[in-house]
Amino acid sequence: MASTKAKGSGSRAVLPPPLLTLLSGDRTLVVGTIHEASGLRALRSGRPSFLRGVDVLEARLDHLEGLELSEISSWPLPVIATARHPAEGGHGALSLECRRSLLGGAMPRVSALDIELRSARVMAPLIAEAHATGRTVILSHHDFSGTPGRAALRNLARRAESEGADLFKIAVTPQDRQALLRITEFQCSPQPVPVVAMGMGEAGRFSRIVLSGFGAPLCYGWLGKPQVSGQWPAALLRGVLDQILPA
């Protein structure tokens, strides 16, 4: 595993593995989202059952701001850090400067950053630093009202690639079968950057399994308490994926 100098320190810190190195196989990875105090407490408790079947953790820094995060260096799994934009479900109406500070502060201890595509231009220096230090960059787009059309989905993927994405994550809200088919086709079809598609809302739980079966490399679930409709408990996802999806 590569190592790098810790900022502001003469010691050397182990560089977490880039998320992309974990995606070399065909197996969908389960991401467990930590977004509130009970999830953080359970993580600190070290209960093995809490992380059973989970491959990667997502730290929702916009929700965790003000909580004790110093133990992130001892988290047992690779971590994706995100501080969500208020217009895409972010908590607390955090300013750009606050979100940039949270992400920058977390970077030495995480494997990936997730930044909204809408913020990629103003976060360009942070994206460049992430790449320069071996982190994976996920650029994301969240649509809580529907599912973009085919041309709009392709345009979003092209924008993500041009702004430096290693992965493009898109979360949509399918309202009917046509919308679910559209996002599934998008997941299946060649794109300029690898895609992680998922659904929210009433069709969310079904869509996440379907999209994993059609190539989504990550499948997100909650740890501690549910966060958004359509998510599975992370502890159940591995078993469901292994039972339903072909080997």
**Which amino acids are annotated catalytic?**
142, 169
3-state secondary structure of 116: strand
3-state secondary structure of 90: coil
Three-class HEC string of 167-186:
EEEEEECCCCHHHHHHHHHH
- The answer to whether 157 and 192 are in contact (CB under 8 A) is yes
3-state secondary structure of 237: helix
- The answer to whether 113 and 81 are in contact (CB under 8 A) is yes
3-state secondary structure of 119: helix
Alpha-carbon separation of residue 109 from 123, 134, 203, 215 (angstroms)? 19, 12, 34, 28
Amino acid identity, position 22:
L
Alpha-carbon separation of residue 43 from 17, 36, 50, 230 (angstroms)? 20, 11, 7, 23
